[in-house]
Amino acid sequence: MRVNEIFYSLQGEGFHTGRAAVFVRLSGCNLTCSFCDTDHRPFVEMKEEEIVKAVAAFPASWVVVTGGEPALQLTASLVDGLHGVGKTVAVETNGTLPLPDNVDWVTVSPKDVFVGAKGKPVLTRADEVKVVFGEQPFSDHPDEGIIADHYFIQPCDTGDSQRNARITARCIDYIKQHPQWRLSLQTHKIIGIR
């Protein structure tokens, strides 16, 4: 498996913000988003057993498999291996590819508003939907029809504080008009951790 990095930190976004987590970042993505803040291209080849051993060294039970796009590589056997060492497995995905059935928590972050039809999600159910809002017009259905327990709007970080403030204000206004949505901020960036 091509692994970009494995590291220990706090979940910075969405429903589990602030929770200690082991992050397994898999290399590669099937989309190219202009705002992507992760260089997920470099990798080392690791066997699933090596990944499980590396993850087991950390005390947190929460594991986030992310990328790039983790569905390009994630297998049911890796999830089983992580379960076998007492871990709960969450996946952060753009939703364009199917996932193994044994994942415990699915966060879908649709990207088709940024990349067009190739980014249209195929997943129809998730634990949470986290939509990145930038300066594009708001969609009438930002959830892409995905049924979820939790819906989040996250302001896109453009790297420009004035643009970010405008985007955040738009997100707040949207949520006030659509109260089924909640605000997700990238708290790991705010407090200066990975």
Catalytic machinery residues: 23, 29, 33, 36-38, 92, 188
Amino acid present at 58: F
Give 169's DSSP letter: H
- Contacts with 22 (C-beta within 8 Å, 6 or more apart), sequence order: 6, 7, 8, 55, 58, 60, 62, 63, 64, 87
DSSP 82-137: HHHTT-EEEEEE-SSS---TT-SEEEE---HHHH-GGG-----EEEEEEEEE-SSP
